[in-house]
Amino acid sequence: MSSVASSRADQRPSRALRRAAAAEGRVVRRGPAQAPPELVSRRLRSRTWRAANSWWLAIPALGLPWLAFLYMGLRGRRPQWVLAALGYLVAMGGAATGLGLGLGLATGHELLFLVLGSLLGAGTWGLGLVHSIMANSTWLRIKAAFTGEPALEAPTTPAVPPAPADPVSGLQEALREVVRTANRHGGRLPDGAVPAVREVEDVLRPLLAHVARRGAEVEELHNLEAIVTEYLPGALEHYLDLPPDYAETHRLPSGLTPAEELVNQLRLLVDGSRDLQRAVHDHDAQKLSVQGRFLDAKFRRSDLDL
């Protein structure tokens, strides 16, 4: 009875929980909330936790399997365990009746009733104990999912979906991170590398701001993403992975050292960034020119003559 009372107390919302729920515009639902999956897994892996929550096996061991399954069925909301509890209760009642008749009759059949009552009682006890041991793993999985705190229901007002992430903002942050990386490892990078990275930033930073104002087109976004998230950080990362002596003295098949190769690649990215900037502005100017030709054709004097 104390265990049932404690389980009810676990499901009763505390004052602090009700106040927190009211402050958030939420309501408290009776019944245990579901524990996070990682907590459930950690509980089931713990031998100490499994042993501490298998105490109920003592109840069928004492000859009361109906009480054990009634508790588990109500606590875990398993109707089949409640039905099993009723079956064990009827069987134990039949065994008690048989023993009572055997002890109370004087017709010569008392031995038969004693044997039948004993067999029914022993069989019910053994079956209930085996059934309890088999059901313990399922009960532990159910018990592991309980948090012991009442669940908080979501507010009745519909939740506002989060705004989609702005890809240009992500590219702006990625460009700042590349510049921070170059500044942080300036002592490892060859002469001319950090200035080249900053020169790329000087070109792409206003270009990204311009694209963010008017909206990026697919091809523009693809080219900007390739430079900011792949080509520029990739060149720095590949170089910084090399030992300093190797990067400065070893000759590649091209005849250049890795340090010279890095500076060449960064200069190519500077030129590529400027070409991309020019292409974006040319595209905007072309759209303006197209609109000018349209307006010229639409509002020529001959079209306005009555």
Residue 266 is part of which domain span? 167-297
Q: What six digits make up the tokens of 286?
A: 């072309």
Co-location of 181 and 279 in the same domain: yes
pLDDT for the residue 31: 47
Co-location of 126 and 230 in the same domain: no
- pTM of the predicted structure, to 2 decimals: 0.45
Whether the CB-CB separation of 82 and 94 falls below 8 Å is answered with no
Nearest to 26 by CA among 190, 151, 206, 178: 151
Residue type, 206: P
Q: Of 104, 119, 152, which residue sits at a domain end?
A: 152
Query: 24-38, 57-71, 180-194, 212-226: lowest mean pLDDT where?
Result: 24-38
Co-location of 20 and 121 in the same domain: yes
Mean pLDDT of the chain: 76
Query: 35-49, 152-166, 271-285: lowest mean pLDDT where?
Result: 152-166
| First-to-last C-alpha distance (Å) of the chain | 99
In total, how many domains does the chain have? Answer: 2
Co-location of 174 and 277 in the same domain: yes
Co-location of 112 and 187 in the same domain: no
Asked whether residue 116 is domain-assigned, the answer is yes
Asked whether residue 104 is domain-assigned, the answer is yes
Co-location of 200 and 96 in the same domain: no
Q: Of 152, 176, 191, which residue sits at a domain end?
A: 152
pLDDT in tens, 105-119: 555 566 776 777 778
Better pLDDT: 163 or 270 = 270
Q: Of 111, 127, 152, which residue sits at a domain end?
A: 152
CA distance 66 to 132: 10
Nearest to 145 by CA among 221, 281, 62, 53: 53
pLDDT at 11 over 50: no
pLDDT in tens, 229-243: 999 999 999 999 989
pLDDT in tens, 152-171: 444 555 555 555 567 888 88
